[in-house]
């Protein structure tokens, strides 16, 4: 089995796995498209070779920083949003809100949620034809404060998702993060609990309930509009508070 080799991009610092069978002398970062490292054509077998490679990595990193400082290379921008560069994008019948939260400053930090968002975004663009400027991404890595996954920003983005929806529209909501539940206060839950998702500021701003999500992105849907919701969180089976729930017998 080809387990691969771990490398870290000296430009954007993302970690990638390169197949051990890949004998290419040049490895290009899939994210920032910078030639990040040159591997020898033979597998490393001695400590001396490994030390030599580490030295080359350090030298390449210093070279990249120098080039960036001189303005000859544009630094990698972690933002995945193209909306800011299109203040008035043309209306599209395909729109998406993708939210991934790692809770960096919280005890129960998650790993991989931002990668989930990146992969989903790439899938929507390359496989399903969603315009880049019509995909709104919320992660803690975004530089625009409008796209930090706070409760207010998530709710505003969900309103944006369904605003002026029309028959034939295809809408997508993706969430990767923590999910909890709390006692049901309006007696509309069979199990006595409301399911929730947890914005990055939920300890102060509160959680977003299944009742809230239903009001934000289910009730406003016009006839003929399709909404796909993928929620990767605990207690998310009935997170949209839909009238019907499907249970597989398998």
- What are the DSSP calls for 23-92, one per residue? --SEEE-TTT--EEEE--SS---SHHHHHHHHHHHHHHHHHHHHHHHHTSSPPP------GGG-SSPPP-
State both tokens at 20: 């051990």
Distance CA 107, CA 23 (A): 41
Which of the following is catalytic: 29, 99, 178, 235?
Answer: 178
Q: Is 178 a catalytic residue?
A: yes
User: How many residues are present in the chain?
Assistant: 250
174-203: b or e for each residue (b if 16 or more CB lie within 10 Å)? Answer: bbbbbbebeebeeeebeeeebbbbbbbebe
234 tagged catalytic: yes
Q: What are phi and psi of 214, to 5 degrees?
A: -65, -40
Give the active site residues: 178, 234
């Amino acid at each position: 089995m080809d387990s691969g080799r771990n490398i870290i991009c000296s430009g954007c610092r993302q970690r990638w796995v390169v197949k051990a069978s890949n004998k290419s002398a040049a490895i290009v970062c899939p994210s920032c498209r910078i030639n990040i490292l040159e591997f020898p054509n033979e597998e490393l077998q001695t400590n001396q070779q490994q030390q030599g490679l580490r030295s080359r990595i350090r030298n390449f990193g210093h070279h990249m920083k120098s080039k960036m400082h001189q303005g000859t290379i544009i630094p990698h921008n972690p933002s995945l949003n193209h909306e800011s560069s299109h203040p008035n994008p043309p209306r599209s019948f395909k729109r998406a809100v993708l939210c991934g939260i790692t809770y960096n400053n919280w005890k129960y930090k998650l790993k991989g949620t931002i990668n989930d968002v990146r992969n989903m975004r790439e899938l929507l663009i390359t496989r399903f034809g969603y315009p880049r400027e019509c995909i709104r991404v919320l992660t803690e890595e975004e530089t625009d404060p409008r796209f930090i996954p706070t409760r207010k920003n998530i709710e505003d983005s969900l309103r944006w998702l369904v605003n002026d929806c029309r028959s034939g529209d295809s809408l997508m909501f993706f969430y990767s993060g923590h999910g909890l539940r709390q006692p049901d206060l309006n007696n509309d839950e069979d199990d006595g609990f409301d399911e929730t998702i947890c914005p990055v500021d939920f300890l102060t701003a509160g959680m977003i309930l299944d009742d809230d999500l239903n009001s934000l992105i289910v009730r406003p849907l016009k006839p003929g509009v399709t909404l796909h919701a993928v929620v990767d969180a605990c207690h998310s089976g009935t997170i949209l508070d839909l009238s019907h729930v499907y249970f597989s017998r398998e």
